[in-house]
Amino acid sequence: MPDPDLRTAFLAATDHVISILSRDDVAAAWHEPSVLPEWSVGGLAAHLASQPPTAARLLAAEPAAEAITLDEHYARSRWVAAPVDDDVNVSIRASSDEQAALGPAEVLVQVLGAREALPALLEAQSADRAVLIPWTGWALRRDDFLTGRMMEVVVHGEDVAASIGFTAPTLPDEVLTPVVTLLARLAAGRHGQGALVSALSRSERAPRTISAF
């Protein structure tokens, strides 16, 4: 069974990011369109790459007084149901494109720097530590925060791989299990329990989509 303490898992997720960003074909396609509308490969890769440095920065900040649940976090987050041209999604892409403009080598350097800093930062975190997410105005408990960052790593790692045409590296269970659990819970909340169960078990009556977002 995966370790319920996600500190080690997040280091594995960071290594996953490094393995993808280190590929020559990702760098070569940096300015090409990705599989996601309005995203370049470089912008998408920079968004993927931002997860470990963001985690390092927020874990190093002062803890918040209290935290909300992970489900409440996604219920409150405007981007979850916003169309691709909504201001919140335009802003996310613009920020990622700005980071991508530094080039693939510098983006990778920032991830490597975070990987060096993260072991000590994570070791110092208690399970009940409330991690403030400043652009939202609320906080999550440590492992909920790490789960959200790992979800971004897993999903956008697949997006980058699909954009280039390679198979993303296989993730360890300690990373994949909490992410799949989160996505399944969000999908059930969005489409209903029956739709989720049918999609996972009955191809003859599976709905068109059970996408969590």
Res 81: pLDDT: 77
Residue % of the chain over a pLDDT of 90: 82
CA distances to 32, 53, 150, 175, 178 from 3, rounded to whole Å, are 38, 23, 15, 10, 10
Residue ranges of the domains in the chain? 7-169
From 129, 110, 107, 108, select the one nearest 58 (Cα to Cα). 129
Q: Is the distance from CB of 150 to CB of 6 less than 8 angstroms? A: yes
Positive or negative: CA dihedral 74, 78, 83, 85: negative
Question: Strands (DSSP E) along 18-175, which ranges?
Answer: 130-133, 138-141
Q: Is the distance from CB of 131 to CB of 139 less than 8 angstroms? A: yes
Q: For domain 7-169, is the CATH number 1.20.1560.10?
A: no
Which one has a higher pLDDT value, 116 or 81? 116
Residue-averaged pLDDT of the chain: 94
pLDDT reading at 1 higher than 70:
no
Under DSSP, the state recorded for 172 is P
Neighbours of 118 (CB within 10 A): 20
pTM: 0.92
pLDDT reading at 42 higher than 80:
yes
CA torsion angle for 164, 169, 174, 176 (degrees, to 10)? 40
> Over the Cα atoms of the chain, what is R_g?
17
Q: Is the distance from CB of 146 to CB of 9 less than 8 angstroms? A: yes
Res 5: pLDDT: 83
As a whole number of angstroms, the distance between CA 203 and CA 199 comes to 6
